[in-house]
Amino acid sequence: MQRILIVEDEQRLAAIIADYLHAAGFVSHWLGDGRGVAAWVREERPDLILLDLMLPGRDGMEICKDIRSFSTVPIIMVTARIEEIDRLLGLELGADDYICKPFSPREVVARVKAVLRRSGGPTTADGQGLVLNESTMRATLDGCNLDLTAVEFKLLAFLFARPGHIYSRDQLMERIYPDQRIVNDRTIDSHIKKLRRKMEQVLSGCDLIRSVYGVGYKFEPEQG
Ligand code: CA
């Protein structure tokens, strides 16, 4: 089960959100004070954070910046003023989404799911997102089996482990063919092409694997 950290000083609101998240199959943890949030995240590694902007102890902006210095965990920033969102976007804090109060708990759950799906990580029991099972070498996208070959699975798992990191064809080849068997460097291109086609068949428009012209490939969770 995925763990959502709710950072919110209004306890009643936090409790309502927690109820809805629980009903949607998530586990949640609540922190009501800004101090200690970054340390908690470092220690507990939640799957997503709902972060209120105005908090006692430490404000959400500082916390967000701090967390981004060591983690790419998805962060949804919660503000009480819609005008604030433009300013926050301009500050490039690295949050993944913004929600304005008052909101419906249903909307919060929908945003949580959408952000988790975009971030490419495994999501809830409703089978959304990309899920890799290393032991069975089986990958599912939005609940559908991608039916990958062993080489395709290895490539995907390797790229997936470091989102945004660009790997050259040589690096990928070393990874996939550690016995240094002589393979044409177009081999990687052809595996990637098949992998993309399989993902595209399940989820039209899916471009989680991007080519970086003249360099190689990277796994890029969609940004909204
Ligand atoms: Ca607040």
Centre of ligand 1 to C-alpha 9, Å, is 5
User: Over pLDDT 70: what percentage of the chain?
Assistant: 92
Asked if residue 131 and residue 104 are part of one domain, the reply reads: no
Distance CA 193, CA 65 (A): 37
Q: What is the DSSP string of 132-192?
A: EETTTTEEEETTEE----HHHHHHHHHHHHSTT--EEHHHHHHHH-TT-----THHHHHHH
Q: Average pLDDT of 79-95?
A: 80
Q: How many A from CA of 127 to the centre of ligand 1? A: 33
For residue 52, how far is its CA from the centre of ligand 1 (angstroms)?
6
Q: What is the whole-number distance in angstroms between the Cα of residue 114 and the centre of ligand 1?
A: 23
Q: Is residue 76 part of a domain?
A: yes
Distance CA 108, CA 50 (A): 9
Task: Name residue, tokens 């393979």.
Answer: 183
23 alpha carbon – ligand 1 mean position (Å): 24
Task: For residue 92, count other CB atoms closer than 10 A to its CB.
Answer: 9
Distance (angstroms) between ligand 1 centre and the Cα of 21 equals: 19
Compute the distance between CA of residue 137 and CA of residue 92 in angstroms, rounded to an integer: 37
Identify whether 224 is part of a domain. no
Do 30 and 87 lie in a common domain?
yes
Cα 91 to ligand 1 centre (Å): 20
Question: What per-residue confidence (pLDDT) applies to 16?
Answer: 94
Domain that holds residue 157: 124-219
User: What local confidence, expressed as pLDDT, does residue 5 receive?
Assistant: 96
pTM of the model: 0.56
User: In angstroms, what is the span from residue 32 Cα to ligand 1's centroid?
Assistant: 9
Residue 4 confidence (pLDDT) = 95
Please state which of the ranges 23-37, 102-116, 145-159, 160-174 shows the lowest mean pLDDT.
160-174
Q: Are residues 100 and 199 in the same domain?
A: no
| Cα distances (angstroms) measured from residue 71 to each of 35, 95, 152 | 17, 11, 27
How far is ligand 1, taken at its centre, from the CA of residue 17, in Å?
Answer: 14
* 54 CA to centre of ligand 1 in angstroms: 4
Q: How confident is the model at residue 59 (pLDDT cuts 50, 70, 90)?
A: very high
Distance 10 CA to ligand 1 centre (A): 6
Q: Find the 42 Cα to ligand 1 centroid distance in Å.
A: 22
Residue 23: the pLDDT is 92
Helix then strand count (H, E) for the chain reads 8, 11
Higher per-residue pLDDT: 3 or 204: 3
Point out the domain boundary residue: 57, 83, 118: 118
Q: What is the pLDDT of residues 172-222, one digit of tens each?
A: 888 887 776 666 768 889 999 999 999 998 888 888 899 988 889 999 876
| Alpha carbon distance 123, 136 (integer Å) | 18
Give CA–CA dist 217/189, Å, rounded: 9
CATH number at residue 26: 3.40.50.2300
Residues near ligand 1 ion, CB 5 Å cutoff: 9, 52, 54
pLDDT at 125 over 50: no
C-alpha 51 – ligand 1 centre gap (Å)? 9
132 lies in some domain: yes
**6-31 confidence digits (pLDDT tens):** 999 999 999 999 999 999 999 999 99
Task: Determine the average pLDDT of the residues in 152-177.
Answer: 86
Task: Report the pLDDT value the prediction gives residue 21, as an integer from 0 to 100.
Answer: 94
- Cα-to-centroid distance, 56 and ligand 1 (Å): 8
Nearest alpha-carbon partner for 113 in 143, 88, 145: 143
Query: Tell me, what's the pLDDT at 121?
Result: 54
Last residue of a domain, one of 118, 138, 155: 118
- What does pLDDT average to over the chain? 86
